[in-house]
Amino acid sequence: MNNRIPMLVLVLLVLVALIWRVANPPPPPLPGPRGALPTWDSRTKLGDMAASAVSPSGTKWAGAWNQKTGSGELRSAILVIDLEKQSAFRQEMKRGSFVSSMGWRDDDTVWALLVDSENPETARTSKVAYVRRVGSEKPRCETAALKETVARILAWPAGSDRFVAQLAGGKAGRLAVLTEPGELVGKPAQVQLPAGTSVRRTGAISLDGKSFVFSVTEDKVGGNISYYVAESKNGHARKAFSSGELPGRVDGIWVSRMGVLMVCADREKLKTIVVSEIKGMPLDIAKSWPDAPKTMMFATYNGGYELNLASGKVKRLLDFTKQGRYSDSWRRQIQDGRLYPRKDGDYTAISTVADEVDIRVVKKSGDKGPDILPRG
């Protein structure tokens, strides 16, 4: 009899544990890459990546993943990676919402636009979530409703109180400048969107908020893109140029009263392009577009390069041509990406293709460094 008592106690404890587990199931994994640093990759994921951005200093990266569950519930989460420390954390967003856009307010604050629909254009409500103190041990998340329903935020410069966005509702594309609480500045611009066309996710806004740039994909495959310049005061918008007139993909765009400044890249060919509103006037890029960086760094299959926006001069930073045959895989993953300097003199390479990101360290010697979030 005495031997049976401990056994009965053990059985009761197991039953209590089972009942507790049934009543308190573990939370489902958050949308995003499965696993954790350093054994994960961006292709093995839950949901789909919707947006990503690098912090102003280039030392942190944030991405948003959305998932629609089997029961139809909308779930989303933000993943923030400290590129220098090679550490990460995830922040779940409010259930029933998708992240349609995201960016950085400063080096320690991420913003995310939350909409109540998997199709942002049909959203009925929109809010901005702010994930603050992302560099600390206790980040916090808070949300603020917008007075206008916004489908996407196309450009919101760090530190600015104004952004350019695509408004929700209607068959036509409606673009406008708004204040941080979501109040309209001036009048929205409007462009017709025939079947198969769509407003692209990114744009540019001038420092004073008086003008902005947005682009429209003119076909389903995304081969032809039209760029529009609009005025926030009267909502006037005009087509300024198309992708067929440019010498490569657009990797950066800025707008001011002087016109539009772009950085275009085609493998090792990096160029600064100016579409000026004032003909015949010599332009000082630093003064005409003070929000544009002095230099930008790029990764290609053959190496790393730095473009000076003012002079247009290109400097080679890294040489991959002397790497062995086993370098082919990682060189293909980082090509057409951006490079960001690290404190130790190495570089972080970030490339996004078809909403899958590849983040890794490239040594200043041109050798492969540690993976941070590889694509495969």
Residue type, 342: R
56 with 104: CB under 8 angstroms? yes
> By 3-state DSSP, what share of the chain in percent is helix, strand and coil, each rounded to 5?
10, 50, 40
* Mean pLDDT (the chain, rounded): 92
pLDDT at 214: 97
Q: What is the pLDDT of residue 282?
A: 64
Which of helix, strand or coil describes residue 57?
coil
Per residue in 90-112, pLDDT (tens digit) is: 999 999 999 999 999 999 999 99
pLDDT at position 9 over 60: yes
Task: Name the helix (H) or strand (E) containing 197.
Answer: none
Higher pLDDT, 135 or 205: 205
| Cβ–Cβ under 8 Å, residues 314 and 270 | yes
pLDDT (0 to 100) of residue 221: 59
Note the pLDDT of residue 325.
85
- The residue among 70, 133, 122 whose CA lies nearest residue 98 is 122
Indicate the pLDDT class of residue 17, thresholds 50, 70 and 90: low
Q: What percent of the chain stands above pLDDT 90?
A: 81
Whose CA is closest to 295, among 313, 320, 275, 318? 313
Among 376, 312, 306, 314, smallest CA distance to 347 is for: 306
pLDDT of residue 14: 66
Query: What is the C-alpha separation between 369 and 277, in angstroms, rounded?
Result: 45
195 pLDDT band, cuts 50/70/90, is confident
The dihedral sign for the CA sequence 37, 39, 41, 45: negative
pLDDT at 281 over 90: no
Query: What is d(CA 12, CA 254) in angstroms, rounded to the nearest whole number?
Result: 68
**Spatial separation of the C-alpha atoms in residues 361 and 348, rounded to whole Å:** 5
Residue 342 has pLDDT above 60, yes or no: yes
Neighbouring CB atoms inside 10 A of 54's CB total 18
* Type and span of the H or E element at 151: strand 150-155
Find the radius of gyration of the CA atoms of the chain: 24
The pTM of the full predicted model, rounded to 2 decimals, is: 0.90
Three-state SS at 300: coil
Across 69-81, b (16+ Cβ under 10 Å) vs e yields eeeeebbbbbbbb
For the four alpha carbons of 298, 199, 132 and 178, in that order, the dihedral sign comes to positive
Structure confidence by residue, pLDDT tens digits, 212-269: 999 999 876 557 899 999 999 999 999 999 999 999 999 999 999 999 999 999 989 9
Please report the pLDDT score of residue 16 as a whole number: 64
SS (H, E, C) 248-280: CEEEEEEEECCEEEEEEEECCEEEEEEEECCCC
pLDDT for 284 beyond 60: yes
Q: How many CA atoms lie within 13 A of 216 on its CB side?
A: 23
Cα separation, 271 vs 66, in Å, equals 35
Task: List the structure tokens of 63.
Answer: 């991405």
- Burial string for 235-253 (b: 16+ CB within 10 Å, else e) reads bebeebbebeebebebbbb
User: CB 26: neighbour CB atoms within 10 A?
Assistant: 6
Q: What is the mean pLDDT of residues 12-17?
A: 67
| 133-168 per-position pLDDT tens digit | 998 888 999 999 999 999 999 999 999 999 999 999
Q: What is the share, in percent, of the chain residues with pLDDT greater than 70?
A: 91
